Amino acid sequence: MKRSPDNQEVASYTEEEVLKCLKEMSKNKAPGPDEITSDVFLLGGEAITIYLTKVLQTKEVPPSWNETKIIILFKKGDPGHKELSPYQSSST
């Protein structure tokens, strides 16, 4: 066990745990604001494991992890309609 900056014990991720989670990610989905697809993450298992463990230990989350893009998609009905019911939101 390692210690965080506030002296609490912090577990590390194993590469197997990270790869298992990465393999469970949805495929063929739009990437987030970083424009990185799930396929790219699968290629960097060891590097991602090291990075996620560092984030866990330091409790320093990159600001970009809190960003999202929300777009409104037309789904049915009259696109000139004043209400939002013919639309749905999608976030990346």
| pLDDT tens readout for residues 11-36 | 777 888 888 888 888 777 777 777 88
Question: Quick one: pLDDT at residue 73?
Answer: 73
What are phi and psi for residue 76, nearest 5 degrees? -170, 165
Question: Quick one: pLDDT at residue 84?
Answer: 56
Task: Report the alpha-carbon distance of residue 26 to residue 6 in Å, rounded.
Answer: 35
Q: Which of 64, 40, 56 is nearest to 6 (CA)?
A: 56
Question: Quick one: pLDDT at residue 19?
Answer: 83
Question: Quick one: pLDDT at residue 57?
Answer: 82
Task: Report the alpha-carbon distance of residue 25 to residue 32 in Å, rounded.
Answer: 13
Task: Report the alpha-carbon distance of residue 23 to residue 89 in Å, rounded.
Answer: 26
Task: Report the alpha-carbon distance of residue 21 to residue 49 in Å, rounded.
Answer: 11
Question: Quick one: pLDDT at residue 15?
Answer: 80
For the chain, list residues with pLDDT below 70: 1-8, 10, 76-92
Question: Quick one: pLDDT at residue 79?
Answer: 59
Question: Quick one: pLDDT at residue 29?
Answer: 77
Element (H, E) at 18: helix 15-23
With tokens 């745990």, the residue in question is 17
